[in-house]
Amino acid sequence: MFPYRKIIEQAWLVTKKNKFLWAYGLLLFLGQAFNVSYSVSSQTQERWRGQFNNLFDHEWLVWGLIALSALWLLIYFRARAGIILAVKSLLDREPVQPLAPFYLGRFFVGRMLGLTIILQLGSLILGLLVSTPVIYLFSKGLDNRAMILGLLALLIILPFIFLIVYLNILGSLFVVFYNLPLRASLAAAGSLIGSVWRKLLAIGLMVLGLRILVLAVAAAVSAPFVIFVKMPYYLPVVLAAIIFLAVGAVFTSFEQAVWVRMFTELVKPQKTEEREESEVVPETIV
User: Residue 119: inside a domain, yes or no?
Assistant: yes
What predicted TM-score, i.e. pTM, was given to this entire model?
0.81
Separation CA 115–CA 201 (nearest Å): 21
User: Residue 14: inside a domain, yes or no?
Assistant: yes
The answer on pLDDT for 182 being more than 90 is yes
User: Residue 37: inside a domain, yes or no?
Assistant: no
The answer on pLDDT for 148 being more than 90 is no
Separation CA 69–CA 45 (nearest Å): 22
Once rounded to an integer, what is the mean pLDDT over residues 248-276? 78
User: Residue 253: inside a domain, yes or no?
Assistant: yes
Handedness of CA 125, 109, 83, 19 (dihedral sign): negative
The answer on pLDDT for 184 being more than 80 is yes
Indicate the range of 213-222, 233-242, 250-259, 261-270 predicted with least confidence.
233-242
* The one-letter amino acid at 111: R
Is 93 in contact with 13 (CB distance < 8 Å)? no
User: Residue 145: inside a domain, yes or no?
Assistant: yes
pLDDT tens-digit series, residues 22-63: 999 999 998 876 654 433 344 444 455 555 556 556 666 777
Q: What is the dihedral of CA 64, 70, 73, 74, to 10 degrees?
A: -120
The answer on pLDDT for 240 being more than 70 is yes
Residue 278's pLDDT is 40
Handedness of CA 34, 37, 38, 42 (dihedral sign): positive
User: Residue 41: inside a domain, yes or no?
Assistant: no
Q: Strand 281-284 and strand 267-270: pairing?
A: antiparallel
Residue 35's pLDDT is 58
Higher pLDDT, 90 or 1: 90
Number of domains comprising the chain: 1
Residue 42's pLDDT is 42
Domain with 256 in it = 4-31+48-271+280-284
User: Residue 205: inside a domain, yes or no?
Assistant: yes
Residue 228's pLDDT is 62
User: Residue 74: inside a domain, yes or no?
Assistant: yes
